[in-house]
Amino acid sequence: MNPLILTLLAIDTGCLAALCASCLPGKITAWLEVLAGLCMMAAGLWVFHIDETFILPFPGFLSNAKLAIDPLSAVFLMPLGFVTATSAIYAICDWSDAEHPQNNRLVRGMHAFMASSMAFITIGQTGVIFLMSWAFMSIAGFFLVAADHLNPKSRQAALIELATTHLSVLFLWALFAFIEKETDWFGFTTISSTYATTVLTLGLLGFGLKAGFFPFHMGLPGSHAFAPNHASALFSGALSKLGIYGIARLLLICPPHAEFAFTLVILGVVSAFCGALFALGQQNHKRLLAWHSVSQMGIILLGLGIGTLGRIHHQPSIALLGYAGALLHVWNHALFKGLLFYSAGSIMRACHTCDLDKLGGLGKKMPKTLFWSIIGSAALCGLPPLNGFVSLLWICLALFECVQHQEMVGMAFAAPLLAMTVALTIASMVKAIGALFLGEPRSDATREAQDPPRLMRWVMVLHGGVCIGIGVYPRMVLPLLETAVSKLCPEIGDLSLQSEFQGVGTTYLTGALLILMGCFYLLNRHKCMRAARQITWSTGLAVNPPRAQWTAASLTQGLVQIFSPLLRPKTSKPRLRALFPEPAQYETYVGDVVFEGLLMPFLRKCAQKIGRLRTLQSGQIQLYFLYMGILVLGLLAWLWFGSQGGEAL
């Protein structure tokens, strides 16, 4: 038994859960998925403990196939296993057989199948195995996004997800073809600088479409918004990370490339800023969280770019902080974004809507969901003492250290954009928390809202507890990260995160913050208990109507107007011309500028031009035989002229 065999056992268990989803109760298949997730996590920890690469070659005619697991694979296998287990437990209540009798078996089967496909991607070193697993993952993702197939928007999001994944397969196939052209191996293997630029460019396009960083994010917002709640957590916490895994794997097999590293930095900081900016204008809770995934993927990409620049310029401390921050953010994002999607799922289960303008006042009815939503939001914003602060701090320290070196002083442009990203993230999450939990209910959707069942709450407790644990005591993950970073950058030598991060007493600092927060809470509670309660003056009205409250759109209207040249908000204004006008609504909508403003118009023009070729499809079989004859004659002529040219040479 070794970690690779344990990973294959996890994959087999997941496939068994997928196969048995049609004939076994949902609880049994869910616990099979939990077992598969635990095996994935155990395999990852085993690799970190031994710090070795385990290879499984195949005999006979399968000798070109190879499976392997190393510390880099383990970095992405562990959050995959964790989110697979928690999402399976969450689905027991959220997507039960009684509430979803039509498609619950399909959703459970595709969820398990997608988790197994993703695990196979992390250990597949051969191009064929990797691409087949990639395709299986895309098919399972298509069915999960299209779970609500009666909704046309859900069907559209599923088709976009399928199209972007298949487009990424084309780029990845070309990537492996160029690797084979140099090394005679169709898979991941070390290459020289001959085709390094081409391979890195194709990898950035292919893996970028799956990672979802700006502007390759077309399939991400829709897939996260319309998938079932537990599947959204798996999409955001694990699936999008496989694009990051592919880019990290390319950094491992290709020689350091300065232009590519700088491209990663630019794309990373632009994606981080644009993702947070577009999240600001969203009125759908899950779509808002999806845009924050775009932003967080940019932060991870920024860390990888900074680490590569440090490696190129022989600055091991920069490389260590950049790579460690990026890899830790992979874990942190899976934790706090899973928590936020589970909180969103609890709200959607209770209120049957994700529209922020139809919710409100949930803090009184769902206090436990409110608490864990605040924890997840604070971690997303990078606030201490939570895990998001630690990884973001390491990336910022690496960025500030870059600016101190003359050859990397151009990196200074990333600092203000990163600061604005954090500010916009805080603003959007304040908008979401305020619109969801504060004030009075804006509609009847919240009339019967209550906290989710105990099993769903325990899933949120597990995610939130790990977020707090890593934030308060980050030293628990330092040895694991050092093992993975040494794989990406052997030049760091004996340099340690313990000495580089220096702890500045981070544990003591966060402990002091916790004590201060506790004292503030006790003091505030004491004052509230002593203060006499009086009715709040509400401008002379006996009852303050919900329509008089600020909506989610109005909370951030000023910022949306400031960035309107980038956001291009669409406004629907009522025309009030009559003396006694009928009721009307004023609505604003912030869409996807890249997809709706650039890609869709281009595709429509292409469809119009390609549509002219439909005249060739007359429906007459005689013409079809004529077309085949012309094609055969053309091929024969091409072969004949080619042979004549060869004889002349």
Q: Degrees (nearest 5) of the Cα angle 232, 238, 244?
A: 125
Q: Do strands 54-57 and 66-69 pair parallel, antiparallel, or not at all (unpaired)?
A: antiparallel
Q: Please state the φ and ψ torsions of residue 526, each to the nearest 5 degrees.
A: -65, -40
* CA 44-393-457 angle, 5° bins: 55
SS3 state of residue 540: coil
The low-confidence residues of the chain, meaning pLDDT below 50, are: 503-504, 508, 649
Which pLDDT value is given to residue 118? 92
157/293 Cα distance (integer angstroms): 16
Per the CB < 8 A criterion, the answer to whether 258 and 138 are in contact is: no
Q: What's the token pair of residue 399?
A: 């960025």
Are the C-beta atoms of 436 and 348 separated by less than 8 Å? no
In angstroms, the CA 275 to CA 161 distance is: 18
Q: What is the mean pLDDT of the chain?
A: 83
96 vs 75: CA distance, rounded Å: 32
DSSP H helical ranges for 282-315:
285-312
DSSP H helices, 58-151, are 71-94, 104-123, 127-145
Long-range contacts of 505-513 (CB under 8 A, 24+ apart): 506/390, 506/474, 507/472, 507/473, 507/474, 507/475, 509/384, 509/385, 510/384, 510/385, 510/471, 510/472, 511/385, 511/472, 513/384, 513/385
Within the chain, how many helices (H) and strands (E) appear? 26, 4
d(CA 199, CA 187) in angstroms, rounded, equals 12
Paired with 66 in beta bridges are 57
The residues, any chain, with a CB within 8 Å of residue 405's CB and separated by 6 or more, are 313, 315
Domain boundaries, the chain: 266-522, 565-572+586-610
Cβ burial, residue 376 (10 Å; 0-12/13-18/19+) = buried
Each residue's pLDDT tens digit, 602-625: 778 887 777 777 777 767 787 888
Report CA torsion sign: 392, 393, 397, 398.
Answer: negative
pLDDT score recorded for residue 356: 84
Helical (H) or strand (E) element with 169: helix 152-183
> 592, 221 in Cβ contact below 8 A?
yes
One-letter identity of residue 640 = W
**Type of residue found at 127:** G
21 secondary structure, DSSP code: T
* 76: three-class secondary structure by DSSP: helix
> What are the backbone dihedrals phi and psi of residue 55, each rounded to the nearest 5 degrees, phi first?
-120, 140
**pLDDT at residue 509, as a whole number:** 60
Tell me the angle at which helices 71-94 and 3-20 cross, rounded to the nearest 10 degrees: 30
Nearest to 435 by CA among 537, 347, 521, 336: 347
Identity at 85, one-letter amino acid code: A
The pTM (predicted TM-score) of the whole model is: 0.87
278, 345, 337: which is closest to 594 by C-alpha? Answer: 278
CB 4 within 8 A of CB 66: no
